[in-house]
Amino acid sequence: MGMTRRGFIESFGAATALGWTASPASAAPGPWPELEGRSVEDVARDEDFWAVIQAAYPVDRALINLNNGGVSPSPRTVQEALRRDLAYSNGAPSYTMWRHLEPRKELVRQRLARLAGAPAEEIAITRNATESLDTVIFGLNLEPGDEVLTTDQDYPRMINAWRQRELRDGIVLRQISIPTPPPSREAIVSAFRAGLSERTKVVHLCHMINLTGTLLPVREIADLVRGRDVQVIVDGAHSFAHIDFAIPDLGVDYFGASLHKWLSAPIGTGLLWVRSKRIGPLWPLFAHTEASSTDIRKLEQIGTYPVPIPLAISEAIQFQEQIGTARKEARLRFLRDYWVDRLQDLEGFCLHTSRDPGLSGGIATFELVGVPVRDLGAYLLTKHQIITTGINHPQFSGLRISPHVYTSLRELDHFVAAVRTAAQDGI
């Protein structure tokens, strides 16, 4: 993708914010190098490029938000599309929203499919990862005694859904532990290999674990059960639009994600990908006239909802495509390395995330040994207006740091200085 500096400014309406004029003759103070032909690592450290991205997010800069893994803000263009369509919807909703706006969801499906590298007929648009994954968890035909293999680091709401199936249907949930941080991808694969049994019918795993940002070798794990009567469900809440991959290449059956995390789509958007041969047998969570239909839209029967919300996913995809997912992935890793490099010499600093690119992306979790996680989180928030996420797991605890593309290096400098002060002077 080629993109000029002026192209960016016009796309994101950021000229004013940067003090640049958008007039063609003087669009930029100096040459804007074409992105094409430059390595993603090179662009990842090009602060002129990222300044334009940062200015596209109308966030509150009196706070430093390092919890984008929870939920992310949207760029201005997404918020404006949402406002525009909400106003239009309310003109005469049964007509303007249902008749005019709702059909446009089909283009959103196509654009999402292109971003996911999958056929549009395998993509359902949902409200979040929970809805996507619950649709699968409650939609599979399983017999009493059938085993579901997952980890003790999978998302609690998904574990609860499986627990409910245990109580109702007599299935068996098996949770394995995985080493944290993992020494290698193979160490994770072998933990899964050891957890499989003759009765395993489902493997449910995160692509990227929310607690530490650890990337799991999903393809290799799916290969363990290839040719067996085992279905693989991936929780992609943190990997989609963060890591550059095509969903079908994971070699799994189902993939659910939130789009309000790394895609910066409106809050309340998600995606469910189902491999085409699995659509027919999957029961919809909300009933459809024909439960065994092979039309993916049978999984979207949620009743009346605000149509502008999924429509504005289109603007988020536009924004994502203009950056390029590979460049975004490289930038998010660069930001992670930026703060880790500046803290790792601190006494007691302990990183619970591997820095191997095959095992992580832009999220990392650290601990200052001897400083309670809760106290450090509270100190950063109350004394420095820095938002982090406290993580507590039986194997480890720490603060999860998840910057986004709108995070500036200055903000990370502030965070680093605050942690250093906490470590050296106490809190």
Binding residues for ligand PLP, rule: CB under 6 A, are 70, 128-130, 155, 206, 210, 235, 237-238, 258
In angstroms, the CA 121 to CA 296 distance is 6
In angstroms, the CA 2 to CA 298 distance is 38
Return the closest-CA partner of residue 231 out of 298, 137, 157.
137
Phi, psi dihedral angles at 15 (to 5 degrees): -60, -45
Kindly tell me which of 211 and 279 has the beta carbon lying closer to ligand PLP: 211
Kindly tell me which of 238 and 331 has the beta carbon lying closer to ligand PLP: 238
Shortest distance (Å) from residue 309 CB to ligand PLP: 13
**Residue pair 230/202 in contact by the 8 Å Cβ criterion:** yes
Shortest distance (Å) from residue 260 CB to ligand PLP: 6
Shortest distance (Å) from residue 354 CB to ligand PLP: 17
Shortest distance (Å) from residue 188 CB to ligand PLP: 16
Kindly tell me which of 132 and 407 has the beta carbon lying closer to ligand PLP: 132
Kindly tell me which of 207 and 333 has the beta carbon lying closer to ligand PLP: 207
Instruction: State the CB neighbour count (10 A cutoff) for residue 342.
Output: 16
Shortest distance (Å) from residue 161 CB to ligand PLP: 11
Kindly tell me which of 152 and 295 has the beta carbon lying closer to ligand PLP: 152
Phi, psi dihedral angles at 234 (to 5 degrees): -115, 130
Task: Encode burial over 282-302: b for 16+ CB neighbours within 10 A, e otherwise.
Answer: bbbbeebeeeeeeebbbbbee
The HSE-up count of residue 265 (CA atoms within 13 Å, CB side) is 31
Shortest distance (Å) from residue 152 CB to ligand PLP: 13
E strands, 34-122, are 64-65
In angstroms, the CA 285 to CA 129 distance is 14
In angstroms, the CA 292 to CA 54 distance is 46
Kindly tell me which of 213 and 324 has the beta carbon lying closer to ligand PLP: 213
